[in-house]
């Protein structure tokens, strides 16, 4: 055996013996607690005062709670009207006394001021007119609007909400509105021609009044289930294409898999609105319009940064059983003064897929819906119809430093034959779309009249679909409509951190003219609505959303299809100008 092998064998033998002895020692000895170390005695103070005995309690400053530590030290301002530092009114600190001690309160206040000027093809008044000798049923009428809306929101929240949802939330949001509207023609603002061409109106409504109860946590990372009951805001998709409202309802919602999955399941019943402000009117009975909703969101799918959603909504409308409805201005809203003018019920289901997010440097937002069901009495046919309609929308954008370029496309199917027993015109429950310029756009912002005397609009105010409804506040969905095709481009230019310039150019066309031709009893061959051009300037002097000043101007250059409907009333370009100021606390 070599010397190296002998040394290795000796090392292994010694290690084995040492390990065995150590193991034997462990088995023989009982574990003993370590001997206590004698605490060091403090030295006597130089002034001869005896030091405190070991273990004596030291004095400490009282602290109300962990949220007010900095306040007790005087290191941060705590002012009631300062929303930028810890504030008990903004939910930063719990209430320190009273019956709601430990609860959080969150108070918000919003002032929304709007000045608007517009020119619309306006129906000539039947009993009295300010445009005698007009060659057609429409004149090119100017209108103006001033609106002041004050929104107050108060939330009471129980539970520490840093890492988990609140245990209980009570929410109340009253809204006050005052408007003044002026028009050139009579019977535009009121059914009574003696009411003149000016209307002043005030209204107080309630947009939110609900209880939100946390039911349970389902994971260590606070995935949860909750229920919300009462008047509450709800939007079915990312861009408000299908259902955006503040109805009464019961909604179950929650998350799974560390918030990657989110769901909503609920029942909603629409409230009747105030005619001029569009706010919820609790003085009237609920509408016989129910929506049953289930949607499911998946974050970061199919790629990180993109959220996908699947949704099913069943809409059941039984307002045909309630008789006619006349609004506050004296106009008939249900049934619509269109076609057979007979009361109607309908029931249909919307199935859709939506997505919003980005693929690399490309931002994308997409929606697709198929609506199917039955209408007990078609608007034109007067008989039972089967509903089958399509909708699709896509917006792509890309950022280049301070510039965002956008392209958008929208398709809503139109009814091909109003008398074949099939209704293929797509209509939403209540839309408020955020695409193609949204409220700065002429077509989306304005309600273009279709039938005289405050009757039916070609497209609703703050709506995109030419659904031939009476109004967004009171009207029923209508699936006998011409549909829409929209292609547009736009750009957002951040000229400075507080200044943004927004431009949009959209081309609009009807999808099918059959329903319009039947309603007007005229031959229509051109689907071109025209070009909708808009420019808006947004200014945020504080660099945040607390003060926002906006101004926009939109122009609708009418195409041959629109001129065939309105004649000389749209020979000159239709415009919409808007100035607004939003103040938020």
pLDDT digits (tens, 9 = 90+) for 25-48: 434 344 444 444 444 555 544 555
CA distance linking residue 364 with residue 492, whole number of Å: 15
CA distance linking residue 262 with residue 254, whole number of Å: 6
pLDDT in tens, 426-475: 999 999 999 999 989 999 999 988 864 457 899 999 999 999 999 989 99
The pLDDT value given to residue 570: 82
Which of 72-81, 252-261, 264-273, 381-390 has the weakest average pLDDT? Answer: 72-81
CB 309 within 8 A of CB 302: no
CA distance linking residue 491 with residue 399, whole number of Å: 10
Cross-strand pairs, 61: none
Residues 352-391, buried b or exposed e (16+ Cβ, 10 A)? Answer: bebbbbbeeeebebbbbbbbebebebbbbbeeebbbbbeb
Residue 192 has pLDDT above 80, yes or no: yes
Residue 173 has pLDDT above 80, yes or no: yes
What's the rounded mean pLDDT across residues 242-266? Answer: 97
CA distance linking residue 138 with residue 221, whole number of Å: 62
The pLDDT value given to residue 76: 80
Percent of the chain with pLDDT over 90: 69
Q: Where are the beta strands (DSSP E) in 124-195?
A: 138-158, 168-183
The pLDDT value given to residue 474: 94
Q: How would residue 199 be classed by pLDDT, with cut points 50, 70 and 90? A: very high
Three-state secondary-structure class, residue 101: coil
CA distance linking residue 76 with residue 70, whole number of Å: 6
Preceding peptide of 179 cis, ω within 30°: no
The pLDDT value given to residue 137: 58
Q: How would residue 7 be classed by pLDDT, with cut points 50, 70 and 90? A: very low
Average pLDDT, the chain: 87
What's the rounded mean pLDDT across residues 220-239? Answer: 96
The pLDDT value given to residue 69: 79
Q: How would residue 5 be classed by pLDDT, with cut points 50, 70 and 90? A: very low
Q: What angle do CA 375, 565, 447 make, to 5 degrees?
A: 65
pLDDT in tens, 294-350: 999 999 999 999 999 999 999 999 999 998 999 999 999 999 998 889 999 999 999
Right CATH number for 103-584 from 3.90.1200.10, 3.40.50.720, 2.40.160.100, 3.90.1170.40? 2.40.160.100
The pLDDT value given to residue 126: 52
Q: How far is CA 543 from CA 181, 539, 548, 585, in A?
A: 33, 9, 9, 15
Q: What are phi and psi of 17, to 5 degrees?
A: -65, -40
The secondary structure element, H or E, covering residue 561 is helix 560-566
Q: How far is CA 82 from CA 68, 86, 87, 90, 152, in A?
A: 16, 8, 7, 9, 17
The pLDDT value given to residue 63: 58
* CA proximity to 368, closest of 357, 352, 355: 352
Burial group, residue 136, by CB count within 10 angstroms (0-12, 13-18, 19+): exposed
Q: Which pTM was predicted?
A: 0.85
The pLDDT value given to residue 3: 43
The pLDDT value given to residue 60: 63
What's the rounded mean pLDDT across residues 359-373? Answer: 97
The pLDDT value given to residue 98: 87
State CA 255 to chain mean position distance: 20
Q: What are phi and psi of 555, to 5 degrees?
A: -135, 130
pLDDT in tens, 515-570: 999 998 889 999 999 999 999 999 999 999 999 999 999 999 999 999 998 888 88
pLDDT in tens, 52-96: 666 666 666 665 577 777 777 777 888 878 888 888 999 888 888
CA distance linking residue 121 with residue 562, whole number of Å: 10
pLDDT in tens, 108-154: 999 999 999 999 888 765 544 555 545 555 666 899 999 999 999 99
Which of 39-43, 403-407, 416-420, 425-429 has the weakest average pLDDT? Answer: 39-43
What letter does residue 385 receive in the DSSP assignment? E
What letter does residue 195 receive in the DSSP assignment? G
The pLDDT value given to residue 301: 96
């Amino acid at each position: 055996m070599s010397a190296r092998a002998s040394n290795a064998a000796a090392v292994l033998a010694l290690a084995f013996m040492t390990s065995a002895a150590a193991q034997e020692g462990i088995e023989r000895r009982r574990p003993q607690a370590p001997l206590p170390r004698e605490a060091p005695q403090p030295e006597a103070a130089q002034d001869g005062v005896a030091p405190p005995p070991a273990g004596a309690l030291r004095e400490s400053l009282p602290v109300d709670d962990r949220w007010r530590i900095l306040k007790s030290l005087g290191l941060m301002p705590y002012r009631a009207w300062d929303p930028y530092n810890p504030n008990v009114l903004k939910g930063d600190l719990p209430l320190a006394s009273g019956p709601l001690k430990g609860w959080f309160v969150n108070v918000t206040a919003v002032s929304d001021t709007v000045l608007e000027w517009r020119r619309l093809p306006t129906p000539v008044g039947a009993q009295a007119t300010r445009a005698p000798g007009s060659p057609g049923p429409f004149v090119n009428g100017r209108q103006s609007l001033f609106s002041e809306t004050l929104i107050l929101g108060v939330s009471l929240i129980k539970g520490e909400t840093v890492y988990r949802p609140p245990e209980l939330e009570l929410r109340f949001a009253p809204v006050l509105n005052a408007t003044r509207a002026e028009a050139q023609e009579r019977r535009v603002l009121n059914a009574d021609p003696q009411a003149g061409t000016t209307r002043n109106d005030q209204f107080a409504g309630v947009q939110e009044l609900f209880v939100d109860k946390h039911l349970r946590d389902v994971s260590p990372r606070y995935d949860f289930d909750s229920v919300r009951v009462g008047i509450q805001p709800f939007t079915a998709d990312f861009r408000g294409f299908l259902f955006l409202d503040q109805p009464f309802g019961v909604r179950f919602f929650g998350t799974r898999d560390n918030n990657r999955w989110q769901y909503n399941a609920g029942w909603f019943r629409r409230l009747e609105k105030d005619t001029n402000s569009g706010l919820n009117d609790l003085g009237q009975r609920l509408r016989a319009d129910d929506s049953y909703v289930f949607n499911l969101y998946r974050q970061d799918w199919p790629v990180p940064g993109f959220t996908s959603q699947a949704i099913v909504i069943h809409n059941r409308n039984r307002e045909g059983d309630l008789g006619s409805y006349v609004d506050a201005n004296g106009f008939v809203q249900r049934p619509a003064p269109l076609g057979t003018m007979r009361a109607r019920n309908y029931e249909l289901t919307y199935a859709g897929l939506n997505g919003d997010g980005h693929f690399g440097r490309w931002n994308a937002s997409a929606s697709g819906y198929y609506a199917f069901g039955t209408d007990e009495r078609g608007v034109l046919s007067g008989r039972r119809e089967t509903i089958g309609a399509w909708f699709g929308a896509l917006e792509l954008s890309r950022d280049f430093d301070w510039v965002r370029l956008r392209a958008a496309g929208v398709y809503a199917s139109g009814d091909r034959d109003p008398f074949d027993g099939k209704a293929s015109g797509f209509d939403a429950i209540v839309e408020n779309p955020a695409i193609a310029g949204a409220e700065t756009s002429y077509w989306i912002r304005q309600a273009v009249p279709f039938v005289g005397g405050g009757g039916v609009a070609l497209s609703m105010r703050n709506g995109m679909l030419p659904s031939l409804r009476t109004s967004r506040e009171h009207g029923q969905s209508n699936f006998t409509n011409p549909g829409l095709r929209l292609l547009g481009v736009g750009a957002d230019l951040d000229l400075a951190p507080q200044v943004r310039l927004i431009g949009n150019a959209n081309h609009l066309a009807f999808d099918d003219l059959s329903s319009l031709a039947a309603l007007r009893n005229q031959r229509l061959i051109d689907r071109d609505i025209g070009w909708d051009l808009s420019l808006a300037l947004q200014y945020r002097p504080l660099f945040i959303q607390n003060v926002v000043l906006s101004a926009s101007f939109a122009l609708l250059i009418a195409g041959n299809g629109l001129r065939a409907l309105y004649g000389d009333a749209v020979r000159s370009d239709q415009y919409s100008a808007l100035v607004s100021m939003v103040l938020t606390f």
